[in-house]
Structure 1
Amino acid sequence: MRYSLVFHAPELDEAGPRPTDEQIAEMQRLMNDYVAALVDAGVLVTAEMLEPSASTTTVSRRTGSTVIEDGPFVEARESLAGVFVLEVDTHDAALAWAEKFPGGSYGVVEVRRVAVYADETGWQTPCTPE
């Protein structure tokens, strides 16, 4: 079964405290170790960490015409920071990987089963083990 670990983290405030270089280096090491463990276990499909929401561009056609705006759609203390897609046998296995996610020490990891996904052959429904 395919699960997404959707990571939400606090936005860095220009006036607020910033992580030190040492804290950044430690988190990078922890994330590298985490990805290596996912790869070694054969469960990693993909992982992407996103730039801060200030670099967001939103596109909408809600009014019938296309509107393109710089910046995030909504102001929030936490924003989408990254997504890891895993192929695991059970929901409990996805939860176990989410518990090990290093960013959980300062953000929230949302665990969601993938309903459908697209690849080079088109839309797919993840297989459910018998």
Structure 2
Amino acid sequence: MQYLLLIYSEENRWNQMTDSERQQGVAAYQAYTEALQKAQALVGANRLQHTNTATTVRLVDAKPQVLDGPYSDTKEQLAGYYLIDVPNLDAAISWASRCPGAAHGTMEVRPVWTAPKDARAA
């Protein structure tokens, strides 16, 4: 089953780190990604750009309203994700707890919804 591991962290924290701390962080994520690949659990992963590059779109009176930046102001922002394929939620939680993001932010584990073959059954 596929799970999305969403990494939430304070995006300005990276800029406050020393070069050595940043290098350690990059190495930790590289090792984590390699472990997922070795376990053949990794489907995809990406780090996201800062929220000041985000665009929010919603419909107001059936017309798109486009806003710069994220929809809500929060302490932690969505920084990136891993899409994994593992047998069950326990395995997904185990991988999430090993992610470097869990040590400096919050990990959200969410199962990927699969559309039923008969769309009318949904």
Which category of TM-score, normalised to the shorter sequence, fits these structures?
0.7 to 0.9
In 2, the alpha carbon distance for the partners of 1:34 and 1:47 equals 11
In 2, the alpha carbon distance for the partners of 1:72 and 1:55 equals 9
In 1, the alpha carbon distance for the partners of 2:105 and 2:12 equals 12
Runs of 4+ in 1 over 3 A off after TM superposition: none
**How large is the Cα RMSD of the aligned pairs?**
1.8
In the superposition, the TM-score normalised over structure 1's length comes to: 0.82
Letter of the 2:64 partner, please give it: T
The answer to which structure has the higher helix fraction is: 2
Aligned residues: 116
Unaligned residue ranges in structure 1 (runs of 5+)? 117-122, 126-130
Unaligned residue ranges in structure 2 (runs of 5+)? 118-122
In 2, the alpha carbon distance for the partners of 1:81 and 1:104 equals 12
Larger displacement relative to structure 2 (57-66 or 89-98): 57-66
In 2, the alpha carbon distance for the partners of 1:75 and 1:104 equals 21
1:91 Cα deviation (Å)?
1.1
In 1, the alpha carbon distance for the partners of 2:52 and 2:94 equals 32
Number of the residue aligned with 2:45: 47
Letter of the 1:57 partner, please give it: T
- 1:9 paired to 2:12: no
1:19 to 17, 20, 25: 17
